[in-house]
Structure 1
């Protein structure tokens, strides 16, 4: 019993350490909680609240033209008068400095956007953490990764109405929960071979955020074994701010069971 208790305590402590690191990234001075606006660029130059210059997009890509005394710092160098960011790839982005703020220039769903990030934004300054379910080993589930013959282009919706994202799904994950066979389409993760799973479940809109949660998975083993630790299911930025373009899960990832693990609805949306 003492050994079992020690293992359980270690599991809980490891989870708390992980979640503390995750929260620190979320609350970073230039993280998503610092975003003050989402601005869609067009061919017509216009000013963007919270950023210097007039912004537009066209054949050259994203362009900003500065007025007297205005500048941005890009790649460590001050840029004045007119600066061409160029054509930005889908899901790519460039962060430029402006005083203590960062001006994010990015492309999402085929559209060029500007998102100013100001450390003194009230959403970040007043952030008090995210409520969670208590970590429980019950929600650490072994699954099997089944690769597709070829990665499948998968179109999903977004937190912004009318916007779509296209991801390549390399395979699906099959697992069981309380005797029920389930599966999740997986997208590529951040590290080579790793996987990302977007999902909703029976708790969505009740105790967890309505639109989505995300789970990052290590690369499957040689036999396809993969571990889904739903205790580490977290919210995407759209759970906190309307200035995010987060993807929605594919239809097949709407689980018919209640995953009572991971992060809950943020206080900001409560």
Structure 2
């Protein structure tokens, strides 16, 4: 390969990354994205009112219930709701979003608990968002690995940034790879679409140039021979890097890499302390 061809390939690689990160930043700053979350409210059997949402909220064996006062209303699936509304039992890691004026009220189950998280477009974290720096895109960090499936998915319990809860994910396998001659592996979870994978990890940059708790990397479906590409340039921060109202999972212990992955997103600008 000539120097010119190498330069063109690197330029294309970096242009592709620039376009991807610009789109990722735009999605992150969506008017009802996680930067707009104004509170994390844990529901109990006792009805509670919150300053950033209408109604009195409670939960029990039959799921989440909201009692709306006269003059209060929500919009759910295009229908206006008044008075008492039951959301029913929610499955873990699912949610329902109800409209309230310019805001969206997220009703969800996380770590076995029912929660309400209002999302207001004018929330200061979103309004003042200054962007997320990242390492310059470098093909060196697009690492070839090998996916090794487990005999059967392994339920894996991990901690969370929210005190007192845990997350349980089925791990279908692990990814083996090398970084500058060091043999490494990462336990993989299922990705957003069938066949794809997701890894949560920390490394020697965590707490130095990158967010301390975790970063996430989506991995395309393995090839028939198990080959995968770990493009660490596309390692991203989870919501907990931006808001104190997140319940993000922590990486399993074996995914704390002893090397510095100098690629992907870094600590956000003016990240709130929590």
1:29 match: 31
**1:205 matched to which residue of 2?**
207
| Contact 1:151/1:169, CA 8 A, preserved across alignment | yes
Distance in structure 2 (CA, Å) of the matches to 1:113 and 1:48: 12
What is the alpha-carbon distance in structure 2 between the residues aligned to residue 199 and residue 260 of structure 1? Answer: 13
Deviation string 1:129-184 (CA, Å, 9 cap, x unpaired) is: 10111111110100000000000000000011121000000000000111111000
Alignment of 1:4-15 (within 5 A): 4-15=6-17
Match of 2:67 in 1: 65
DSSP 3-state at the match of 2:45:
coil
What CA distance in whole angstroms lies between the structure 1 residues aligned with 2:153 and 2:264? Answer: 28
Equivalences for residues 177-188 of structure 1 within 5 A: 177-188=179-190
In the alignment, what sits opposite 2:244? 242
Task: State the match for 2:55 in structure 1.
Answer: 53
Report 1:1-270 matches (<5 A). 1-269=3-271
- What are the Cα deviations for residues 190-239 of structure 1, in whole angstroms up to 9, with x where unaligned? 11100000000001011100000000000000000000000000000000
Asked whether the 8 Å contact 1:154–1:167 carries over to 2, the reply is yes
Per the normalisation by structure 2, the TM-score is 0.97
Q: Which runs of 4+ in 1 moved over 4 A?
A: none
Gaps of 5+ in 1: none
Q: How far apart in 1 are the matches of 2:126 and 2:211?
A: 19
Measured in 2, the distance between the counterparts of 1:264 and 1:2 equals 30
- Which deviations, in whole Å up to 9, do the C-alpha atoms of 1:71-111 show, x marking residues without a partner? 00011000001000000000000000000100000000000
Shift of residue 28 of structure 1?
0.2
For each residue in 1:234-258, what CA deviation from the matched residue of structure 2 results, as whole angstroms up to 9, or x when unmatched?
A: 0000000010000000000000000
Q: How many residues align?
A: 270
In structure 2, the gaps of 5 or more residues are none
TM-score by length of 1: 0.99
State how far apart, in whole Å, the 1-side matches of 2:259 and 2:5 are: 32
Root mean square deviation of aligned Cα: 0.8
Write the deviation string for residues 39-91 of structure 1: whole angstroms up to 9, x where unpaired.
00000001022110000001220000011100000110000010000000000
| Matches of 1:164 and 1:4, distance apart in 2 | 46
